[in-house]
Every structure is written in C-alpha cells, then in structure tokens.
Structure 1
Amino acid sequence: MTTVERTWPPLNEYLRDIARESLADAGEDAISDAVARMIAHPEYPCLGARSVFRRDAARIVVLDSMADPDAVAQLAVHLEAFSNANRDPEDFVSFIAVFREPVTPTEKDFEARLWQVLQQLHDEDTHPWADGVAADPEAPQFAFSHAGRAYFIVGLHPRASRIARRAPLPTLVFNLHEQFEKLRAEGGFDRMRTAIRRRDTKVQGSVNPMAADHGEASEARQYSGRRVETTWQAPFSPKEIGDDRSG
C-alpha cells in the first residue's frame, strides 16, 4: 500500500489558518490540540518544542485572561505543581500557559501584558530566587524565577512579527533553565541552538536580531519576541526574597 505524504502549506499560512478557528471560546482540549498542531508543522523552528511534543512532555494549561489576577494566581499554582513534578527531568519538558484573551493589537501591548503576568507571579512568590541566575532584569545573567526554579520565557501571540512567535492565542512557555545547562554540559547546546537559528532564519527570511546566549545580554529582551530598542528596560521590579538575589 502506497503511503501518501502530507503536503503542508507554508508555516505562516498554516498558523494564520489556526488563528482563524475562534479558539477563545473553544474547549481546553481543542486549544491544546491547536498548540500541538502548530508545533507539528515541519517548518516550525524550535526543535526543543518539537521534541517535547513528540514525547508528550508538555504541560498545557488553559486560562482565561492575562489581565485577570485570578487567572495569574491559577497559573502560579499550576506552574509550581509542574516544578514539583519535574525536579530532575531526564529530557526537555515545557510548561505552556494559553490565555483565551486578550488578543492584543500590537506587539508592545502583548509585551506589557506578559510582564504584568510575570510581575504578579513574582510579587506573590514566597520562594527565594533561583540559584545561578540574577534577579536584576538588566543583568546578562538574568532569568525569571518562580518557586525557586529558573525559567526562560517564550511569549507567543497572533500579532507577532516573527513567524516562529505566532500562536493562535496569547501563550507563555516556561522552559526550565537547568535543561539548557544540562544540554550545554553534554555538548549538545551549541548544535541545537545553531539548528534552531538556521531554521528560524529560513522561515522568516532574516536572522532574529534578538537572539543571544545567556550571559551575553539579559534574556528579558527576548521574552516577548518583539525587537526591542537598545534603550529598552524590562518593566519588572524584583523584590527582596531570601538572602541571595544574584544567584
């Protein structure tokens, strides 16, 4: 029996079609499926995300509004539970928070919402800042911390200028920092990073100007996916928790 190979539309068209599915009012399973379909496209640049979904290692939580403090409080509970369940993951895992609204009109609006969410998560967090990373969002060693674990945040939304940062609904991906450090120690980080950036450039037609390694520049500049100005500063105010804020 002959197997017919699936023909995929270009990634930007594929993501546009998913975004037209009126998912804001859909059930949680339908929203989770839309995220999985997005990642499944063969052109999707992030190889880490593709690996996570192939292994069913993504924890997806659907919440109401990014602007709703109650939804962010629910996010905090789910994120800490994810952290507790993945104390020493053998391979990549991801926590993905999908919000039904708002679909912001501009990248700057989404960026503002993203940092409001992170600020509330931080303000209500009673744990010390994660070891090994800085709390100062201007520091090259900065990483977001929640419940004592460091995360690299990937913001996605329908209005993103970078195709790889488009998603049908506002989405925040929390990737454990220690996963990247483990991959670096095993010698695979540079290879994966190079492959992802090559794939992203092929999809977009240009190099991502915000791409940088941890320690070169604050990763806060990358969280929203927007090309931020050289004078940009993260709208984030870390508070004193514990004895050591610098990691």
Structure 2
Amino acid sequence: MLSTKPMFSWADPSEDEASLLLSAYIADQGFPCVGAKAALAKGTLDILGARDIASAWDDLRIHDRLRCFAAQYRAEPSLFRSFAVVFSGPDDLSEEAFERAIWQRIQSLSDKDVWLGQAWDERVSPDPSNAHFSLSFGGEAFFVVGLHPRASRPARRFSRPTMIFNLHDQFETLREQGKYETMREKIMVRDEVLAGSRNPMLSRHGEASEARQYSGRAVDGGWQCPFRYSGK
C-alpha cells in the first residue's frame, strides 16, 4: 500500500511565496474557476513550490507528492481537492515553449509512475488521441491545467509557470450529483466576462481528448500530443 507521507519532505525556498501568490490569484474576484475557489476556501488546495519548469530538477519530489496526494484522496474522497506545482520560472516562455515544458514534465512524471510499478487508472485511456484520455499518477486519473505569464487567455495568465492537477474522479462525482453542467457553464460564463469570448478549447470529457486543453494554447485540428505512455 502506498504511503500517504512524502519521501522527499524538503521545501523549495520559494514555496511559501508561491503559495501566497497562487492563493491570491485564485481568490481574486475575476478568476473564473469556482472549483479552484472552493478548494482554496476549504483548505484542500495542496501547493508545492518548485524550480525551473523546463528542467527535471524537481521531478522526483513532484511525483512523490503527487502520488501521496492520490493516496490521500482515495483514503478520504471529497470534492474540490487539487494539487498545484508553482515553478519559480522561467517567466518569459512563449505559449509554444510553455507547452513543450509542461509536456516534458508530464512525460517525466508518467515515466516515474511506470518505473515504480503504479497501475494506470483503468477508468481513463492512456492514449492522448482518445476522447477518454486523462493522465494517471499513483493509480488515480488527473486533468492538468497550465498557467504562465504569457498565456493568451486571461484565466491562464499567472506570474509563474504552474501546473494544477485536478482529480478526474471529482468530475464524475459532480456528474453523478447532477452538478457538473451547472458548474461548467458558470465557469465558462465567468471566463467569457474576463476574456470577452468563450474559450474555444474547452470540451466535455468524452467528446474530445482533454490533452488539447492542458497548456492553454489554442491549437488546431492537426495538433499532435507529444505524450506517449511507456507502460503496458
């Protein structure tokens, strides 16, 4: 059984500052994601400070915390829990460069999951071209939201490169409770107020691969996801 306590317990020097910055960003009245606001209000937004998003320096520590987060959720499931990694930089990445960096981190984290013998969450597909694709860490499915300073959508524009891991199971719980569509529409309306238009990249799970949404960059129909699952 996977321990719920991280092996790598040291903190990045910027972690406290990162937590304050992200908490203030989400708490801002204009921020559209009501799920993230709920997690912040409940104290269930787990924030980890890390170094360069374009470097593998902190990947072991990130993966360790991510697996523990998954184990803690399975031990005590509840709505509105997220795990965020706030990187200290770089703060000048273009949307294309940020997209490359975020997928490099995802590939590295997934490869570590395979190396440690973690099973893929069978509720979702490991094929990024499949409409039912989601990532899996510690046996739990996740949807990733990327934030960075040069994002074209205001809701994705944050002072530091960030990866927010949202539990796929929570979306399914909201569907079962009949709350998913109402919450999704509320987020989209708030995002439209902020940006002046609806985000063309947003789709419901099962309609199109969610991989297209992770970095926040608007991609065309010919976009190819660089992720390849290395497990069986």
1:214 aligns with 2:205: yes
CA distance in structure 2 between the aligned counterparts of 1:175 and 1:105, rounded to whole angstroms: 23
* Residue matched to 2:136: 145
Moved over 3 A (4+): none
1:92 pairs with 2:92: no
> How high is the TM-score relative to the length of structure 2?
0.90
CA–CA distance in 2 between the matches of 1:218 and 1:29?
34
Instruction: Give the whole-Å Cα distance in 2 for the aligned partners of 1:240 and 1:63.
Output: 26
In the alignment, is residue 64 of structure 1 matched against residue 51 of structure 2?
Answer: yes
- The letter for the 2-side match of 1:116 is Q
Tell me the distance in 2 between the aligned counterparts of 1:26 and 1:170: 16
Secondary structure of 2:57's aligned partner: helix
Q: Percent identity?
A: 42
Q: Which residue identity lines up with residue 177 of structure 2 in the other structure?
A: E
Match of 2:33 in 1: 46
**Contact conserved, 1:209 with 1:227, CA < 8 A, in 2?**
yes
Partner of 2:8: none
1:91-124: per-residue Cα shift (whole Å, max 9, x none)? Answer: 2100000111222431010000000000001111
Q: How does 1:99-114 map to 2 (within 5 A)?
A: 99-114=87-102
Q: Distance in 1 between matches of 2:230 and 2:127?
A: 10
**Could you tell me how far 1:61 is from its partner in structure 2?**
0.3
Give the CA deviation at 1:239. Answer: 1.8
Q: Which amino acid is 1:89 matched to?
A: P
8 Å CA contact 2:16–2:49 kept in 1: the answer is no
Alpha-carbon distance between aligned partners in 2 of 1:71 and 1:238, rounded to the nearest angstrom: 20
1:66 and 1:72 in contact (8 A); partners too: no
RMSD, matched Cα: 1.3
Mapped to 2, the partners of 1:27 and 1:225 lie a distance apart of 24
> In structure 1, which of residues 111, 120, 145 is the aligned counterpart of residue 108 of structure 2?
120
Aligned pair count reads: 217
In the alignment, structure 2 segments of 5+ residues that lack a partner are 1-11
Normalised by the length of structure 1, the TM-score is: 0.85
Q: Can you give the 5+ residue segments of structure 1 that lack an aligned partner in the other structure?
A: 1-24, 242-247
Note the alpha carbon deviations across 1:57-104, whole angstroms, 9 max, x for none: 100000111233231111001111111111142221000001112224
Equivalent position SS for 1:130: coil
